[in-house]
């Protein structure tokens, strides 16, 4: 089986990926169910999703965008 990789067309402008951690009762680091496509690989099957952020451009000071990504992409970026 091939290693899971995000789609380069979807991630071309994103850099500095970071998992989003929860605050108190609102735990954004926990997986949740979603029917939306993964924003980094395009997988449109319903399933577990995680929130992460990434900068638009290479500089760490650039604007960050919140992304909803699948379990496989989460493992690719953060394991």
Contact 56, 62 (CB under 8 A): yes
d(CA 35, CA 43): 10
Specify the residue for token string 């992460």.
Answer: 52
> Which three-class secondary structure string do you get for the chain?
CCCCCCCHHHHCCEEEEEECCCECCECCCCCEEECCCCCCCCCCCCEEEEEEEEEECCCCCCCEEEEEEEHHHHHHHHC
The structural domains of the chain, with segments of one domain joined by +, span: 8-78
Q: Is the pLDDT of residue 25 over 60?
A: no
The confidence score (pLDDT) of residue 39 equals: 97
Residue 56 or residue 23, greater confidence: 56
User: What pTM value is reported for the model?
Assistant: 0.86
């Amino acid at each position: 089986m091939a290693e899971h990789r995000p789609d380069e067309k979807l991630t071309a402008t994103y850099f500095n990926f970071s998992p989003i951690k929860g605050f108190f009762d609102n735990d954004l680091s926990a997986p949740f169910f979603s029917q939306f496509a993964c924003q980094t690989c395009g997988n449109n099957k319903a399933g577990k999703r995680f929130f992460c952020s990434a900068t638009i451009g290479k500089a760490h000071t650039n604007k960050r965008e919140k992304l909803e990504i699948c379990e496989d992409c989460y493992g690719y970026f953060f394991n």
